[in-house]
């Protein structure tokens, strides 16, 4: 059994100073009824905790470590910039360099604005959509998480699409009513709500591949319908690719689906592991932002040179190596190996993957929406996750989170993971 005494002590200490002991709720491990692991370093496909335990990492800082942790080229780019200063609060040429790289890879983006987080990106994109269209309402989808933005932290009542209710105290009901939530991958549900609010509909925002209810790709026909209806209605279509951008393919999910949104939000990978976000899209829409236009958005650390140095270095490597087919094969080999073991033990298990992003569920049928994920087996998931972490395999500590694989995961790491799963199942969940 892995000893995590220092992590236990550090968590106790953290709870004295930080709400819940963590700076992002999923890190508290409450979803798996356990103690969070405190880490001190990472290299390649591995994490090392405060007790010097080693873990094969399938989270990758929730996506950006696509080339593995502590990649020498990224560290070198950060170090080089570090010697020149950490922040100026003023323009740098590296911002334009990174913007050009993003535009090169994502054709729907004609101009891009850098921000500091995915939440900031979606918040700003929504404001821009409302300002550009002169309309107020937003349609989103159950289980698609777009950051903790007041306008988007909305849930649907009892699984029925309805006017939004706040998903958290502190969000005014009047603001929540401007957002409507529909079932993901449900065309009829969307059309019903769309017809009710289309005259005041500023935008539809969606994760084309949902990464916050496990890993659930949008149906192609569903996403095409969103594009068709928003175009006809002169509303905007926003793809939230904070997780999928540069992760499932060089051009993101929109490249795979061959659908061009009006606006795209990005994060994770474009900072190379440092805090970052961005939103971009059609020139005529983006030029509605200050200082060119009337929609205000600003940030002292936006385009921070350290994040831009790391991000541009990583994007260049992705352009040079195009690792996505290899990543998908690795993820598929991992999941096929796991699925075969679960089948031998008559435990329901379903999987999916695209590029270096994947998900698994304790259910016979692959989930298509949030309700499907909610109904998967919690008992199996909690037991399995705790035993994996105890055995040095670090999967996401929530069934509502996707997994990620890196170029540094070799046949050795995948084989060792499958063997550990075999050991766990032989001992019994």
Of 315, 351, 255, the closest CA to residue 64 belongs to 315
Residues 6+ apart with CB under 8 A from 107: 251, 260
Report CA dihedral (307, 312, 314, 315) to the nearest 10 degrees.
130
Q: How far apart are CA 109 and CA 64, in angstroms?
A: 20
> Which one is catalytic: 240, 257, 372, 399?
240
Alpha helices in 83-186, H assignment, sequence order: 93-105, 118-133, 173-176
Q: How far apart are CA 249 and CA 264, in angstroms?
A: 15
| Beta carbons within 10 angstroms of residue 169's beta carbon | 5
240: annotated active-site residue: yes
263, 111 contact by CB (below 8 A)? no
> Which one is catalytic: 137, 178, 229, 268?
268
- Burial of 235-252, coded b for 16+ CB within 10 Å and e otherwise, reads bbbbbbbbbbbbbbbbbb
394: annotated active-site residue: no
Rg from Cα positions in the chain: 21
| Beta carbons within 10 angstroms of residue 207's beta carbon | 26
Alpha helices in 106-238, H assignment, sequence order: 118-133, 173-176, 187-197, 220-233
Residues 6+ apart with CB under 8 A from 62: 243, 268, 401, 404
> Which one is catalytic: 46, 55, 132, 145?
145
In whole angstroms, what separates CA 115 from the centre of its chain?
16
Q: How far apart are CA 423 and CA 173, in angstroms?
A: 50
Q: Which residues are catalytic?
A: 145, 240, 268
């Amino acid at each position: 059994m892995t000893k995590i005494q220092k992590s236990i002590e550090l968590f106790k200490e953290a709870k004295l100073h930080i709400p819940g002991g963590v700076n992002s709720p999923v890190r508290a491990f409450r979803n798996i009824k356990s103690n969070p692991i405190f880490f001190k370093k990472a290299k390649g496909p591995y994490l090392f905790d405060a007790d010097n335990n080693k873990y094969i990492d399938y989270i990758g800082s929730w996506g950006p470590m696509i080339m593995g942790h502590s990649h020498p080229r990224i560290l070198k780019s950060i170090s080089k910039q570090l010697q020149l200063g950490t922040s100026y609060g003023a323009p740098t040429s590296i911002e334009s360099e990174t913007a050009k790289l993003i535009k090169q890879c994502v054709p729907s983006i004609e101009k891009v604005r850098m921000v500091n987080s995915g939440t900031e990106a979606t918040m700003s994109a929504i404001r821009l959509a409302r300002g550009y269209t002169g309309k107020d309402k937003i349609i989103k989808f159950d289980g698609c998480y777009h950051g903790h933005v007041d306008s988007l932290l909305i849930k649907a009542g009892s699984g029925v699409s309805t006017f939004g209710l706040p998903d958290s105290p502190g969000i005014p009901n009047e603001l929540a009513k401007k957002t409507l939530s529909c079932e993901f991958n449900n065309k009829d549900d969307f059309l019903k709500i769309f017809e009710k609010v289309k005259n005041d509909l500023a935008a539809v925002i969606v994760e084309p591949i949902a990464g916050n209810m496990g890993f659930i790709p949008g149906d192609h026909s569903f996403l095409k319908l969103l594009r068709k209806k928003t175009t006809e209605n002169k509303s905007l279509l926003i793809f939230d690719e904070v997780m999928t951008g540069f992760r499932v393919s060089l051009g993101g999910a929109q490249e795979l689906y061959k659908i061009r949104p009006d606006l795209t939000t990005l994060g994770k990978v474009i900072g190379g592991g440092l805090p970052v976000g961005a939103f971009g899209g059609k020139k005529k829409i983006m030029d509605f932002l200050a200082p060119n236009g009337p929609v205000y958005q600003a940030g002292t650390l936006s385009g921070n040179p350290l994040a831009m140095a790391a991000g541009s270095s990583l994007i260049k490597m992705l352009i040079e190596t195009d690792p996505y087919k290899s990543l998908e094969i690795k993820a598929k080999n991992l999941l096929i190996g796991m699925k075969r073991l679960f089948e031998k033990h008559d435990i329901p298990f379903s999987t999916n993957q695209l590029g270096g992003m994947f998900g698994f569920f304790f259910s016979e049928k692959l989930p298509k929406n949030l309700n499907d994920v909610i109904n998967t087996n919690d008992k199996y998931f909690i037991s399995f996750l705790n035993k994996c972490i105890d055995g040095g395999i670090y999967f996401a500590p929530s069934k509502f989170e996707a997994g990620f694989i890196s170029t540094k995961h070799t046949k050795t790491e995948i084989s060792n993971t499958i063997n550990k799963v075999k050991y766990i199942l032989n001992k019994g969940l």
